[in-house]
Amino acid sequence: MKPSPVDILLVDDRMDSLIVMEAALRDIPNLNLVLAQSGAEALDQLDKYNFAVILLDVQMPEMDGFETAQHIRNDYKSNKDTPIIFVTAICPDDRYIFRCYEVGAVDYIFKPFEPYVLRSKVKIFVDLFLKSQKLQQQAISISESERREKHFKLTELEVDILRQYRKLADSIPHIVWKARAEGTVYYFNHVWYRYTGLTEGESIGSSWQGAIHPDDLGRFLLNWMRSMGTLKAFEIEVRIRRRDGQWRWHWIIAVPDSKANEVLSWVGTCTDIHDRKIGEEKLVVAQKQAVSANMAKIYFLANMSHEIRTPMSAILGFTELLLNPKQNEIERQHAISTIHRNGKQLLNVIDEILDISKIEAGRLEVEIIEFNLTELLYDIKSLLAIKTEEKHLELKFILETHIPERIQSDPTRIRQILTNIVSNAIKFTEKGAVQVRVRWHGELWTDDGVLEIKVEDTGVGIKADQVERLFQPFAQVDSSTTRLFGGTGLGLALSQKLAQALGGNVTLESTQSDFGSTFKIQIKAQPVTYCNWVNGFKSIDLYREETPFEALEVNENSLKGFKILFVEDAPDNQMVIGMFLTSAGAKVEFADNGYEGISKASDDNYDIILMDIQMPKMDGYEATRILRRKGFEIPIVALTAHALIEERTLCLNAGCTEHFTKPVNSEKLISLVARLVQNKKNVIQSHNSSI
């Protein structure tokens, strides 16, 4: 007699998916595949058939797979215990997997799937169903005495069924366990033993609790006890010890098997979520850091607005006063002096922002050249002495060891570092003194040495909770609107980065609230071979008296006889820079753009061309390239507001002799023009004499 076909329910809202599943199961003999395209349609079939297994899609309109599974388990007695396998395209996230188990699924398969995987899983449940049917039929057909005779065989069948279920549990890549109602575990799948390294004797009963982290065990047991009272599933995150001793986070979910408001047993799973947990913790830390950094930048931008608008307000205000013809000469001179001072302050703010931006982008460059160290120290002291005199403070520069007169390093950056640190010391000191102690670590005329400068003040000091923010860019010790001291808040961070670029560092050596601070600057440098060494243990002022420095004197004859073409589109810049040059004796002619500059240069003989870069019609790059192609060999100086190192490179590549940034320092510009023109004349004279 041919056996009745085994009913299988396939549920998916997509007909193409149903066709794929139907094709995959075609090789299993004697199956009746019942198709349903919705949860409601599937429920309609439950009273008509006794299904061996249900393949259920998760994502369906109106009623999804989870809700359908709950209805099957709760509302349909004939199929209440029918195995459900979810077939889903949802990303294999742990929470979806455990949701499957929570609603009563026994397994899950992710789309797209291999047909043989689907067949093997379905075949297991078909075999189980047939054996169960056989068991039921035998139980009905035989008498009580026969049942006793068949008891052993039935037991074997039950064992076989249990073996099949355990085989299924071992195929799941998670820890699976079963426990009695009171909580003693009587089964773990092989994943548990492989993960923990424990034996069965070390795991069964309550022994497994030793694998739970002591800090998590109490919380775990408390949740379990609560679930026993409510007859509801529970989930919790705890740490489980791996066989190598590492504690790793696991997500545990346990579902009770209950009857008549009484728990009969528990089935649970443990999934390793350690990497996800650590990732979440790192994400929280990163989010906090991002919020903190964002707030720091908000404070920084607010402070920048203040630092830029304050001098700009003075510049615009005193400019308006100068337009008043009723101002006397003293008032006009005061206004001009104030505009000049605030303009330099505004330029300093912009320079600091550009420098810190270069550092943040990893594009800061240093220029190692030979220079007079003692002259640099004296210049800095002279510059800052005005500030200390205004506050009635004493400023001392002391040489504590012999130091080389000339060294190789970047004088511009050293000046910037020392000016920043000493200016800070003066700013935060209301009475007392600021001392700058200079030491040299290294032997005479050796290749390497370290310039060490300590800046000591008797100011307000730094509180302990403020120290860690001291060298952070965009952060200030006091960022409130009521702070007593101004500044961009970039000085220390910038100085430290500059010192590090020169092979050294800037550190806070000591501080005490209300008693002052000491900052230490260290710079790697090389003394110039056979240079003079300055005696230590004296003030830099005494050295200045003993060794007068040469200084460039700019006067009305510095550029006498020079003919200069200035290519610039801004009339105000033409006027002010033209006045600088003519006051030094030069004759200056103007061109408003690159086209006009090329035309004028071709019609007349000039000693030098000053070329703006950003101009209408033709920019300075193109104009310079054309002049060089035409054979012009006179110096061309890029005179531009483009201050970045990349822009300097573009200017030089276009054919410019030098790159000079706006706003213009008149003395430096006049010195540069004089040097370039004289160098060109020397080359011409040398060439003529050799002919």
> Residue 92: helix, strand or coil by DSSP?
coil
Residue with the larger pLDDT of the pair 568 and 174 = 568
Token pair belonging to 15:
């007909």
- Res. 130: pLDDT tops 50: yes
pLDDT at 627: 94
Give 134's pLDDT tier (boundaries 50, 70, 90). Answer: confident
- Res. 527: pLDDT tops 50: yes
Give 316's pLDDT tier (boundaries 50, 70, 90). Answer: confident
pLDDT at 552: 46
- Res. 152: pLDDT tops 70: no
User: Could you give all domains of the chain from N- to C-terminal order, each with its CATH number?
Assistant: 6-169 (3.40.50.2300), 173-272 (3.30.450.20), 279-360 (1.10.287.130), 369-546 (3.30.565.10), 563-690 (3.40.50.2300)
Q: Which residues pair with 564 in a beta bridge?
A: 588, 608
The C-alpha atoms of residue 24 and residue 26 are separated, in whole angstroms, by 6
Q: Which helix (H) or strand (E) holds 265?
A: strand 262-272
pLDDT at 684: 62
pLDDT at 551: 39
- Res. 345: pLDDT tops 50: yes
Average pLDDT score over residue span 307-321? 74
pLDDT, tens digit, 9 for 90 and up, residues 269-281: 888 888 888 888 8
> Residue 177: helix, strand or coil by DSSP?
strand
Q: Which of 679-691 are b and which e, b meaning 16 or more Cβ less than 10 Å from the residue's Cβ? A: ebeeeeeeeeeee
Give 143's pLDDT tier (boundaries 50, 70, 90). Answer: low
Neighbours of 156 (CB within 10 A): 10
| Percent of residues, the chain, with pLDDT higher than 70 | 82
Specify whether the CB–CB gap between 591 and 597 falls below 8 A: yes
Neighbours of 360 (CB within 10 A): 13
Give 314's pLDDT tier (boundaries 50, 70, 90). Answer: confident
Angle at 309 between CA 575 and CA 315, to 5 degrees: 35
Cα 305 → chain centroid? 25
pLDDT at 565: 95
Average pLDDT score over residue span 494-498? 86
Average pLDDT score over residue span 356-379? 78
Average pLDDT score over residue span 484-498? 69
Mean pLDDT is lowest, of 134-148, 270-284, 379-393, for 134-148
- Res. 200: pLDDT tops 80: yes
pLDDT at 689: 53
Q: Find which of 128-132, 220-224, 627-631 is predicted with most confidence, using mean pLDDT.
A: 627-631
Q: In terms of residues, how long is the chain? A: 691
Q: Which residues pair with 661 in a beta bridge?
A: 640
pLDDT, tens digit, 9 for 90 and up, residues 12-44: 988 988 898 888 888 888 889 999 999 889 888
Specify whether the CB–CB gap between 591 and 600 falls below 8 A: yes
* Whether the predicted model's global pTM rises above the 0.85 cut: no
Q: Find which of 98-102, 163-167, 391-395 is predicted with most confidence, using mean pLDDT.
A: 391-395
User: Among residues 37, 168, 40, which one has the least CA distance to residue 101?
Assistant: 168
- Res. 295: pLDDT tops 60: yes
Sign of the Cα torsion 302, 305, 306, 308 reads positive
pLDDT, tens digit, 9 for 90 and up, residues 441-465: 887 656 688 999 999 998 888 777 6
pLDDT at 362: 66
Q: List C-alpha distances in Å: 191 to 172, 180, 239, 521, 562.
A: 8, 20, 16, 60, 90
- Res. 690: pLDDT tops 70: no
The C-alpha atoms of residue 171 and residue 595 are separated, in whole angstroms, by 80
pLDDT, tens digit, 9 for 90 and up, residues 609-662: 999 988 888 999 999 999 999 999 899 999 887 666 677 788 889 999 888 887
Average pLDDT score over residue span 486-503? 78
Neighbours of 356 (CB within 10 A): 21
- Res. 486: pLDDT tops 50: no
Give 256's pLDDT tier (boundaries 50, 70, 90). Answer: confident
The C-alpha atoms of residue 368 and residue 126 are separated, in whole angstroms, by 83
Give 436's pLDDT tier (boundaries 50, 70, 90). Answer: very high
Give 302's pLDDT tier (boundaries 50, 70, 90). Answer: low
- Res. 128: pLDDT tops 90: no
pLDDT at 328: 81
pLDDT at 587: 93
pLDDT, tens digit, 9 for 90 and up, residues 580-603: 899 889 999 999 999 999 999 988
- Res. 155: pLDDT tops 80: no
Average pLDDT over the chain reads 80
Average pLDDT score over residue span 362-382? 82
Amino acid (1-letter code) at residue 428:
F
pLDDT at 473: 63
Amino acid (1-letter code) at residue 94:
D
